Chain A
Amino acid sequence: MTAPVPTPQDAAVTPVVMAAVASDTNGAPITPVNVPRTGAPANPTAAVLASRFGAAVVRTEVVWGETTVFVTRDALHDVVQFLHDEPSERYDYLVDITAVEYRDGARPLEVVWHLRALGHRRFLRLKVELPKRGPLWVPSVIDIYSGADWLERECFDMFGIRFEGHPDLRRLLMWEQYKEGHPLRKDFPLRGRFSRAEQLKQALAADPEARYSMEELSIAEAFQSLPEDMKARLAERSAHGELEEGE
């Protein structure tokens, strides 16, 4: 194997610039240079969180100038609410919600929130560690950021992590009747769980015309106005492309 690329820390000159708040003498943001892998100053928010939430903040890491705060699952919603509402923090922008599963099976799953304070020009990463044997759920932050809607649904779809409190936690990218599991989990093979033949069979059996969810039909009470044959197909399970056992 080739040796890992040495980090700039090993090099002689490393002017330490924190990636999230790199700025010139007038305070204007600049492109960060020579960010060390570890040892850059942490985002000041991390210290605020540690003092306010105490044991709920598990630990803080700074990697490549980006601060990661690990919090417990129970405190996550309060932490995000605090970050959003506190005038001195004001993390008003939710960048992303995702999850990480490591190849090392012993490491817990991590759910990741990327937050930005647009006014303070700060960037913060929150993480919650979920042991794989335990229940996979975290609190939803959709009541704080409306933009969390699809991000949480996608994370649920891809990793099977439930966001408790999300009002409409359905699959997003995969179809609702998808039965192979959660594709971004490491135990999900790259080619899918089923054989190509089975996948093709399921795809052909899926009737796109019938793929109105019952929720959509009920919102307009339109079910009654559907043609009789479509109603009949919707009523039976095969309309959703689901196959009987052993079929």
Chain B
Amino acid sequence: MRRTIEVALGTSGLDAQGQPLRAPLVAQGSAAVSLERAPVLAPEPELKGDHMLINIGPQHPATHGVLRLVLELDGETVVRCIPHIGYLHCGFEKIGEYRQYNQIIPWTDREDYLNSPGNNVAFALGAERLFGVGMTDRTKVLRVILMELSRIISHLVWLGTTSVDIGAFTPFLWLYQERENVYNLLEAWVGARLTTTATRVGGMAADIPDGWLDGLKAFVKNFPKTLEESVRMLETNAIWAGRTVGLGAMSAQEAVNAGLSGPMLRASGVAYDVRKDFPYLDYETYDFDVPVGTQGDVYDRFLVRVEEMRQSVRILEQAIRRLPDGPVNIDDPRLILPPKHKATSEMESMIHHFKLVMEGPRPPAGECYVAVESPKGEKGYYFVSDGTSKPVRWRIRPPSFVNLSAIPKMVEGHLLSDVIAINASIDIVMGEIDR
């Protein structure tokens, strides 16, 4: 993928007049300027003092949630980093063992709350594998639309908050306006903005309302303009590049060994995307590219996420074109509730409705692990069923949990101020990490 940073950072030092050298903000032409950050110099032996212990969080705006990092500093250099998590732990997996499958879907909204529709789809896919049922063609395309919309809003939040962390405020406002448009679309569809609960096992909560596609088309048409404007604010910005290039780099081998996934892994040069390698929802029939970075640093993660948003727009355009007519729910009375008007007028439908709600559908005994490409990486749901209406085990494989566990390796040796940028680049959501 493209990695041309067309700015040069000023060298630290003074000019002939004794004034600090300024960073030239002009483009340097098409040749990429190498922006290798000078290696962090070890402190002079005579200056070496006691190490200092710094506690960041758990309540700190730059930790994106209730994350606590204990840092051991030598001067300003991080010698050691100990992350502490668990402040948001509320036992989602335990609660899931006491709920029927459709009753768990609202919990999936709340784990990775920036990606609620995507989690709903992932859960439905997993549960449908466990039940051994499929989905209708229309639902398949609607779910792709949901997945890509939620990828866009999640990356928008990431880009907005990270730019605030690093010192740019304007992109935050522009991007959140676009996010608002997506939330309006979601609200029009399922009635909720953040906690969507958009899917059911075997179908969707609702079909899209009339005229909804026009709103989506308008978004797909207008969003790239905002995106490119915001990216232009950052991509060749000397401050942005200076605070992201060369930071927190992970080699491809390290990243795979550490289990990183999503943009974190792809920035390191590994083209592993669940949509391509283990496809679901017929993703193999969509035409899109998987962006891959070269350095694995914070700047590459930024480039990868931006490119993913562009690719998501491409997928959305294709999905709009191919959306077929038809029902959204499969024709299976063991899973799908009867229509409300029948449940209130016919005895059989009422009994059917009652039994489905009170006892719940029962999958055959078995287990399955279904992974999707969430904005953070490989999100997997592992179900174990013993044939009753409630899972024996519902395991969430949280991508940002595994990504965050590599943070000591990424920050050690960098400066304290860079910890904020590196931590932001992981795109953590504590609701998903602590569950």
Contact = CB atoms under 8 A, between A and B. Distances in A.
Interface of A: 1-8, 19-20, 24, 28-31, 33-35, 37, 63-64, 66, 68, 92-96, 98, 100-104, 112, 114, 118, 121, 123, 125, 145-151, 154, 158, 171-175, 183-184, 188, 190, 212, 216-217, 219-222, 225
B168 interface: no
Given A64-B129, A123-B278, A28 B367 contact: no
B208 to A, nearest CB: 22
29 contacts: A2-B360, A2-B389, A3-B334, A4-B364, A5-B133, A5-B364, A29-B284, A31-B283, A63-B367, A64-B366, A66-B367, A93-B259, A95-B369, A95-B371, A96-B369, A96-B382, A101-B392, A102-B392, A114-B369, A118-B277, A123-B278, A151-B259, A173-B89, A174-B86, A183-B91, A184-B93, A184-B94, A221-B51, A222-B52
Contact of B72 (A24, A174, A219): A219
Contact of B380 (A6, A29, A114): A114
Nearest to A98: B395
Contacts of A34: 134
B239 interface: no
Contacts of B258: 145-147
A19 B367 CA distance: 13
Interface in B280-338: 280-284, 332, 334-335
A59 B395 CA distance: 23
Contacts of B53: 212, 216-217, 219-220, 222
Given A5-B131, A30-B284, A221-B50, A145 B257 contact: yes
B259 A4 contact: no
Contact of B378 (A4, A95, A150): A95
A33 B131 CA distance: 13
B134 A216 contact: no
A220 B359 contact: no
Which has the most chain B C-beta neighbours within 10 Å: A2, A151, A174? A2
Interface of B: 50-53, 55, 70, 72, 80, 82, 85-86, 89, 91, 93-95, 98, 129-134, 254, 256-260, 270, 272, 276-284, 332, 334-335, 355-356, 359-364, 366-369, 371, 378, 380, 382, 384, 386-389, 392-393, 395, 397, 401-402, 404-406, 409, 434-435
A151 B259 CA distance: 10
A122 to B, nearest CB: 10
B93 A173 contact: no
B132 A8 contact: yes
A5 B363 contact: yes
Given A145-B257, A146-B258, A5 B361 contact: yes
A30 B279 contact: yes
Contacts of B256: 92-93, 118
Contact of B386 (A19, A98, A103): A103
Given A37-B132, A93-B259, A96-B395, A4 B362 contact: yes
A64 B368 contact: yes
A104 B386 contact: yes
Contacts of B278: 20, 29, 121, 123
Nearest to B383: A64
Contacts of B283: 31
Contact of B405 (A147, A173, A175): A147
A66 B258 CA distance: 24
Contact of A2 (B55, B82, B93, B334): B334
